[in-house]
Amino acid sequence: MDRALALAREAGEAGEIPVGAIVLDAEGREIGSGRNDREAGRDPTAHAEVLAIRAAARELGDRVLAGCTLVVTLEPCVMCAGAILAARVPRVVFGAWDEKAGAAGSVYDLLRDGRLPHPVPEVVAGVGAADSAALLREFFAERR
C-alpha cells in the first residue's frame, strides 16, 4: 500500500484526484502501476486501477491477470470494478471506502456479485484507509 500511496501523492501534486494503484504478481513483485491521469491525459477512463491493469497486462503479455493482486488507495468505482473483473484479478486490496461511487461494498458490490459471469475476487478493504482518506480530504479541502 505504501507504493500506491506514493503514486496517489504524485497524482495529487499533479492536480489529479489522489488515487494510486499497483498490480503485484503471484510472487509479490510489482508488474504494473498507475495513478489518476484523467485531467492531464484528457481521458475519462484514466483511473489508477485501469492504468495499473493495462501496464500489468502488457508486462505479462496476457489480458488475464491470474495470480495477481491489485492494491489501490480508494475503493474501485463501477468502471474500475468492470476492468478488474474483465482482467480476472483474483484479489483486490483497497484503502479508503468511496461512499459516493464505490463498487466493492459501499454503494455497490459489483466485485462480489455472483450473478456476473466472472470469477469473484477476494476483496480486502481498509488497508491504509486513514492515510488514503487523508490524502483525499486534503486534496478536496484545498479546492473548496
Sequential DSSP letters for 56-122: HHHHHTSS--TT-EEEEEE---HHHHHHHHHTT--EEEEEE--TTT-TTTTS--GGG-TTSSSPPPE
Inter-residue contact 110 to 116 (CB < 8 Å)? yes
Residue 77 labelled as part of a binding site: yes
> Is 99 one of the catalytic residues?
no
Inter-residue contact 35 to 48 (CB < 8 Å)? yes
All three cell numbers of 30, joined, read: 510489482
Inter-residue contact 8 to 73 (CB < 8 Å)? yes
Residue 47 labelled as part of a binding site: yes
Catalytic residue among 10, 49, 59, 122: 49
The amino acid that residue 66 corresponds to is A
Residue 68 labelled as part of a binding site: no
| Annotation: binding site for Zn(2+) | 47, 77, 80
| Annotation: binding site | 47, 77, 80
Task: Report, as residue numbers or ranges, the catalytic residues.
Answer: 49
